Amino acid sequence: MNHKMKWLIGLGITLIFFSACSLLNNLNPLDDIKSEIEDLADELPIDDIQGQIESLTTDLPGELDSLATDLPANLDEITDELETLTTDLPGDLNTLATDIPSEVDDIVGDFEGFINDVLGSDDIPEDIPVVEGEKDDLFASEKIVSYTTSLDFNSVLSFYQEQMLVNGWTVREGKVITEDAALLYFQKNDRQATVTLSYSLSNSKTDVMIIIQEKQ
């Protein structure tokens, strides 16, 4: 082997040596990373974490047992309430079914009374007299009797002055009488009656209205 070849081989070995040293120097950061990982592991609260896990595994069965103990009691209370409801409900429904018809009857009765008062039932009270003959626009209820008659005013006035007394009514003070109108007051037991008469020249008829009300 000549001298030049030996020199090249020696140069190559030298380059390889320096490259290996440089590589080893570049591996130093790996040592730093390893050191940081070891420091981080030392700082982790392993004991605290282990204690919390042990506490959780110790308390959890007791809490589950308590839940398993309380749940049946709560279910029993719910069952008792449902049984009470199913026991009381038929009675409440029966009471409701009994009371509703009675209340409906009362409402219907009141409504019919109102209709009779407003529209009239054509049932003239037995102690309220009306003149004989044809009567127009007759309206009658327990509280109001009204109609129109072709009789003259004086005849109708005399009729009520006499016939109210015949039917058990007595005269009250305060009557007003003019040529073509009159206002007469009567009372009987706990009732009062006001007789209003008016004569119309336009149709030569006398209008009669009698209002009956409870004595105040």
Domain-embedded: residue 159 = yes
Region 157-179: mean pLDDT is 97
**Sign of the C-alpha dihedral, residues 166, 167, 168, 172?**
negative
| Token digits of residue 207 | 């209008």
Region 39-48: mean pLDDT is 62
pLDDT given at position 104: 44
Domain-embedded: residue 100 = no
Query: What is the CATH classification number for the domain harbouring 204?
Result: 3.30.310
Cβ–Cβ < 8 Å for 197, 157? yes
**Angle at CA 183, nearest 5°, toward 187 and 205?**
125
Q: What is the band of 37 on the pLDDT scale with cuts at 50, 70, 90? A: low
Domain-embedded: residue 102 = no
Exposed, middle or buried by CB within 10 Å (0-12, 13-18, 19+), for 94? exposed
The domain containing residue 39 runs over which residues?
Answer: 3-44
Block residue for tokens 């007789």: 195
DSSP 124: -
Write the pLDDT tens digit of every residue in 80-134.
Answer: 776 776 677 677 656 756 765 665 466 445 544 544 444 445 689 999 999 999 9
Whether the per-residue pLDDT at 143 is higher than 80: the answer is yes
What is the number of structural domains in the chain? 2
Whether the per-residue pLDDT at 29 is higher than 60: the answer is no
pLDDT given at position 111: 43
Whether the per-residue pLDDT at 196 is higher than 90: the answer is yes
Question: In which region does residue 97 sit, left (phi positive, over 0), alpha (psi from -120 to 50) or beta (all else)?
Answer: alpha
Helical H segments across the chain, by residue range: 3-26, 28-43, 46-119, 153-166
Domain-embedded: residue 206 = yes
